[in-house]
Amino acid sequence: MSAEVVAPVDAGSDRFVARPVRYCEICSFPYEYCEYGSSLSRCKANLEAKDPEQFRQLYSDEALEDKLKSLTTEQVESLERESAKKERKAAAKAEKERAQLAASKIVLSRVARTKRKVITCIHGLHQFSPPMPALKVIAKGLSSRFATGASVTQSVQHPGVDEIHIQGDVAHELVTLIVQRTKPFDAMPSEADGGVLEKNIVIDEKAK
Ligand SMILES: [Zn+2]
């Protein structure tokens, strides 16, 4: 996210005029405060690519030297340790989340309502949010794609968790739509971004 507080900048008198505060797209702190976040390496790489001038002002040898002059060696070392520790923690957390997501499953099951009426139930999409679109939006999209009824309903086996019910047996079509990010799944994160993989989708044949 990026935002700018717009204020007139007069190069000749910048001691008296508020300069625009610019926020880091990675950690969301103002660029000057990235070191207090948990992603300094990524913040620096991002800033260097986006705004080499600002990067130089904050991280060039001279800028760092100026800053260090006011700190003791011990303070410097402790700051560096803190920063490295925060990054390791954040990396471990991200890795754990990735592993959890990889183990999550979307279960597509067929439920016979009467002898001739079958519904397909999509359970587990919620694990892959955010940034998933709302289940209601997906249900509506599926309803028009398959020209059939689709609704969001609370799961019987997992109270409090919503799932989508679609009229008809469309489990195999659904796998293709999800894996290929075809509408209404087009807003789902890609596989490269840690989104759903084919192995995360199970067709529950028992329920047939
Ligand atoms: Zn940052």
Parse the chain into domains and list their residue ranges: 11-101, 104-207
Question: Separation of 24 CA from ligand 1 center, angstroms?
Answer: 4
What local confidence, expressed as pLDDT, does residue 131 receive?
53
Question: Separation of 37 CA from ligand 1 center, angstroms?
Answer: 7
Distance CA 31, CA 8 (A): 19
Distance CA 205, CA 107 (A): 10
Residue 68, pLDDT > 80, answer no
Question: Separation of 34 CA from ligand 1 center, angstroms?
Answer: 4
Q: 53 falls in which pLDDT band (50, 70, 90)?
A: very high
Tens digits of per-residue pLDDT, 109-168? 888 777 778 899 999 887 875 555 688 999 999 999 999 999 999 888 888 888 999 999
Distance CA 42, CA 170 (A): 43
Question: Separation of 143 CA from ligand 1 center, angstroms?
Answer: 42
What local confidence, expressed as pLDDT, does residue 17 receive?
58
What local confidence, expressed as pLDDT, does residue 43 receive?
94
More confident residue, 114 or 203: 203
Q: Are the C-beta atoms of residues 161 and 126 closer than 8 Å to each other?
A: yes
More confident residue, 173 or 194: 173
**Which of 16-23's residues contact partners 24+ apart within 8 Å by CB, and which partners?**
22/54
Q: 108 falls in which pLDDT band (50, 70, 90)?
A: confident
Residue 36 buriedness (CB in 10 A; 0-12 / 13-18 / 19+):
middle
Q: Average pLDDT of 3-17?
A: 48
- At residue 52's C-alpha, the angle toward residues 34 and 6, to 5°, is 70
Question: Separation of 40 CA from ligand 1 center, angstroms?
Answer: 6
β-pairing, 162-167 vs 150-154, is antiparallel
Question: Separation of 47 CA from ligand 1 center, angstroms?
Answer: 8
Q: Supply φ then ψ for residue 113, to 5 degrees.
A: -85, -45
What local confidence, expressed as pLDDT, does residue 10 receive?
47
Question: Separation of 92 CA from ligand 1 center, angstroms?
Answer: 18
**104-207 in CATH: which number?**
3.30.780.10
Please name every residue paired with 123 in a beta bridge, in sequence order, or none if there are none.
107
Count of residues in the chain: 208
Question: Separation of 123 CA from ligand 1 center, angstroms?
Answer: 37
Question: Separation of 35 CA from ligand 1 center, angstroms?
Answer: 7
β-pairing, 150-154 vs 118-123, is unpaired
